[in-house]
Amino acid sequence: MAYRIPMTADMTFPMQLKTLADEELLDYWAEVQKIDGVFNSENSQFVPCQDYERQIVWELQLRSGGQRVQVQK
Q: 35-47: per-residue pLDDT in tens?
A: 877 777 766 666 5
Lowest-confidence segment of 15-19, 20-24, 58-62, 69-73 by average pLDDT:
69-73
Integer CA distances (angstroms), 34 to 3, 7, 30, in order: 13, 21, 6
pTM exceeds 0.75 = no
Domain span at residue 55?
Answer: 13-63
Backbone angles phi, psi at 11, to 5 degrees: -125, 125
The answer as to whether 4 is a domain residue is no
The answer to whether residue 19 sits within a structural domain is yes
Domains identified in the chain, total number? 1
